[in-house]
Amino acid sequence: MAYSGAFPARRAGSRTTALAREIGGEVILPAQEQYERARRVFNGAVDRRPHAIVRVSGVEDIVAAVRYARENDLPLSVRGGGHHVGGFAVADGGVMIDLSRMREVVVDRDRRVARVHGGALWSDVDRATQAHGLATPGGTVASVGVGGFTLGGGVGRLSRAYGLAADNLLSVQLVSADGRLVTASETENESLFWALRGGGGGFGVVVSFELRLHAVPNPVWSGALIYRIEDASRVLRVMRDLMLSPSRDLTLSATIVRKDGQLVLVVNPFWIGDGSKADEAIAPLRRVATPIADGFTPTSYLALQSVDVPGGRRGWESSAFLDQMFDDTIDGLVAHAVDAPIAAPRIALLPLGGAIADIPESATAFGGRRAAWLVSAGASWDREAGDSEARAWIEEIQAVVREDSSGNGYVNMLGDRARAHSPWARARLRAVKAAWDPFGVWS
C-alpha cells in the first residue's frame, strides 16, 4: 500500500511494545538474542548500542519507525550495507532502521533502467542487471549497500566510462522526517535531488532508487599486476600518465598493501574496450617493471563484481581528492606506506576524470567533480590498543598529499565528518537539510 500523508501527532510516551505492534517486519531490542549480531556493522571498532533496531518490510514500517524516534526524541540511523567505516548506520541509544529486508531489484531492459530498493546490496543489482548484459557504476565489494554508496557519490569501475553512481540516478523515493513518501528527481524536489547526489545521508530514508543502465561487454579484462614495493614509484608514474589519455575504455587503480608479510603495489587494470587491444593498453605497465604476479585476463563483469571482503576487524579511513599527482606526491605516498607502524596498512589510488568530469561541478553535491585522483589511507587491525597508532598514521595522509589536494575528502571514505564539500556546497547542503529535516531527526 502506498503511503502519501504525513503522520498525525501522537502522545510521546509510546514505547517499544506499541512500536512492535505497528511494524510488519521486526523490532529487535537489547534483551533479545539476535540483538548483538544485528547491531554490528562492517567496522569491528564500532560498538554502539541502539535503543531499538527496526528491521522494516516496507514504507509503513519506515514511517512508524521515524515517527517513534521523533516522538521519543531519539536519534535515528539507517542501515543499508553497514560498510561505512564511520559506522553511521548505528545510532547509540537511538533507533536503527535496518533495510535488509528491502532488497528487490526490478530491471526494465527496454528502458535500460533498474528500480532498486533501499536495502539492496551491489551483488543484488549486478546479478539482476547482468542477466540482461547491463550494469550501472557500482561498488567494487559485493556486500556494499547501494544506498550509502550512491548517496555519497559512488566511484566505481565503470565511473570513467559512465560517471558516478549518483550521476546515473534518475529518481529517488524516500520517507521524509515528517513521514511523507516523496520523490526527488531533476523535475521534482530538485534541491533535494541535488543533495542526494553526493551529499551523503541525513535527508530521509530511501525506499527506492531508479538507476540508468549501460551495456557492458562480455568479457571485460581485469586482474591484478603485483609489483615489489621498490618498483612502486616508477609504476605509479606510468599509471598516472596512462590515465591522462582521453580514452575511457581503460581504468587503472592501485593499492599499496601487505600480502603474505610483504609490502607490495597492486595495480588493478579494468578494460571494457576491444579485447584484442587489452594487452596493448597496459603494455607500458609491464615494460616499466616486471610484475611478480600478473593476473590480467578476460573475465565477466559479474564475476569481478562478486568479490567480497569479510568484515569484523577494527578499521579507519581517510581520503583526499587530488587536483593532480606530482612525482613528489607519489614518492611521499610510497614512503608513507613503507614507514607504516601497523601490520595491515592500505593506500589506494583511484582515477577520476572521464565521464565524471563531463558534468558541471554545481550540478550535484559530489565534492570531487574536478579532481584527477582520489587517494585514501586505511588500515584494519584486531585490538583496541592499536587504535591510536593506526588512526594517527591514517590521518597523516592529508599532510602527504597536501600540495596536490583540493582540500576535500570523499564522503564514502572518511572515518568522521571531515570536510567533503566546498564552502558553497556545504552552505547549500545545510539549507536543504534545514528544509527537509527541520526537527533534526538525523544527526
What's the rounded mean pLDDT across residues 307-318? 96
Mean residue pLDDT across the chain: 94
CB 378 within 8 A of CB 210: no
DSSP 149-216: HHHT----TTHHHH--TGGGEEEEEEE-TTS-EEEEESSSSHHHHHHHTTS-S-S-EEEEEEEE-EE-
Please state the rounded mean pLDDT for residues 305-332. Answer: 96
- Distance, in Å, from the CA atom of 176 to the CA atom of 186, rounded to the nearest integer, reads 18
β-pair type (262-271, 225-228): antiparallel
pLDDT higher than threshold 70 for residue 2: no
**What is the DSSP code (8-state) at residue 6?**
P
Q: What is the pTM of this model?
A: 0.94
Pairing of strands 76-79, 95-98: parallel
Contact at 8 Å (CB) between 193 and 186? Answer: yes
| 223 CB neighbour count, 10 Å cutoff | 16
pLDDT of 70 > 80? The answer is yes
| % of the chain residues with pLDDT over 70 | 96
Confidence of residue 417 (pLDDT cuts 50, 70, 90): low
Q: Give the E-state strand segments of 237-372 in sequence order.
A: 250-259, 262-271, 293-294, 297-299, 314-322, 345-351
- Domain 220-413 indexed as CATH 3.30.230.70: no
Average pLDDT over residues 16-21: 90
pLDDT tens digits for 214-260? 999 999 999 999 999 999 999 999 999 999 999 999 999 999 999 99
Q: What tens digit of pLDDT does each residue of 96-111 get? A: 999 999 999 999 999 9
Mean pLDDT of 161-167: 98
CA distances from 43 to 346, 382, 413 (A): 15, 11, 13
